[in-house]
Structure 1
Amino acid sequence: MNDRRLAVEAWESLFRAQHELFADLGRDFTDAPLQQGEYDVLLTVTRAPGMTARLRDITRFMLVSQPSVSRLVDRMVARGYVTKCPDPDDGRGSLVRATEAGARAFREVARVHAAHIAARMSALTEDELTQLRELTTKLRTAGTPAG
């Protein structure tokens, strides 16, 4: 078992870094054609084969509830960024596909956002970035300890 105090200090540092980075990088969406939530949806959808993803997969990658994601996707349909149709493999599910307008808006925002992410992360070496990725993956995939 790790030292509890060190574990709490490490968690607080990670939490504060994430919060500050998120706030800083969130400014990329102030005057952008997409809101941050829309960007997150399109990030998942545009990376999927055929720029089509199951709604449940989009929800799994976002940090909000399924009803909130469904409402967001419905607003994006109305804005012309995605289409939504029933999933033929899951009668209760839906497929979300990026439209050309959605993919174009995503690329426009992604260029700026990725540049800002890279600039902010430039405080770390490539080895440190690799280590950070490995450590955060380990934290995300570790089971919840008993007790």
Structure 2
Amino acid sequence: MTDRKLALEAWESLFRAQHELFDEMVTDFEHGDLAQAEYDVLLTVTRSPGMTARLRDVTNNMLISQPSVSRLVDRMVTRGLVAKCPDPDDGRGALIRATDAGARTFRALATIHGRSIAERMSRLDDDELRTLRDLAEKLRRG
């Protein structure tokens, strides 16, 4: 049986580390052309085949509600970062496609943000990074 006190200590340490790293990396978005939430949308969309993802898949990768994601995507459409069209396989759904401008803007910030992440994660060696990745995936799988 898992030691309850140890489980709580591990959770608190993981939560605080994530929060502190997140606070440090938010500066990556201060002078860019994308807000962090917009970056997250484009991360999902640009990684999808044809740079197109279902709105529900974008929502599943976000930490905000479905109505908030829909409003965010609508604002991104207005800004020319993504295009939105009906999903032919789901009458109630929508497909989100990165525009050329959206993909360029994303890639420019992704380069900066990727360096920032690598720099902060360099506190761990490669074996520790693999262990952290594997443990986080194990926790996510339930």
Report the TM-score, using the length of structure 1 for normalisation: 0.96
4+ aligned runs moved over 6 Å, structure 1 = none
| Secondary structure of the structure 1 residue equivalent to 2:104 | helix
1:16 corresponds to which letter in structure 2? R
* Cα distance in 2, alignment partners of residues 102 and 26 from structure 1: 20
**C-alpha distance after superposition, 1:10-40 (max 9, x if no partner):** 0000000000011111110001000000000
For 1:27-42, list aligned pairs within 5 A: 27-42=27-42
* Cα distance in 2, alignment partners of residues 23 and 101 from structure 1: 28
Partner of 1:83: 83
* Cα distance in 1, alignment partners of residues 8 and 27 from structure 2: 29
Gaps of 5+ in 2: none
- Give the alignment's Cα RMSD to 1 decimal: 0.4
Partner of 2:103: 103
| Secondary structure of the structure 1 residue equivalent to 2:86 | strand
Partner of 2:131: 131
Partner of 1:145: none
How many equivalent pairs are there?
142
For 1:1-147, list aligned pairs within 5 A: 1-142=1-142
Identity of aligned residues (%): 69
2:84 corresponds to which letter in structure 1? K
* Cα distance in 2, alignment partners of residues 25 and 119 from structure 1: 10
* Cα distance in 2, alignment partners of residues 22 and 62 from structure 1: 15
Report the TM-score, using the length of structure 2 for normalisation: 0.99
| Secondary structure of the structure 2 residue equivalent to 1:14 | helix
Cα distance, 1:120 vs. partner?
0.2
Gaps of 5+ in 1: 143-147
1:44 corresponds to which letter in structure 2? T
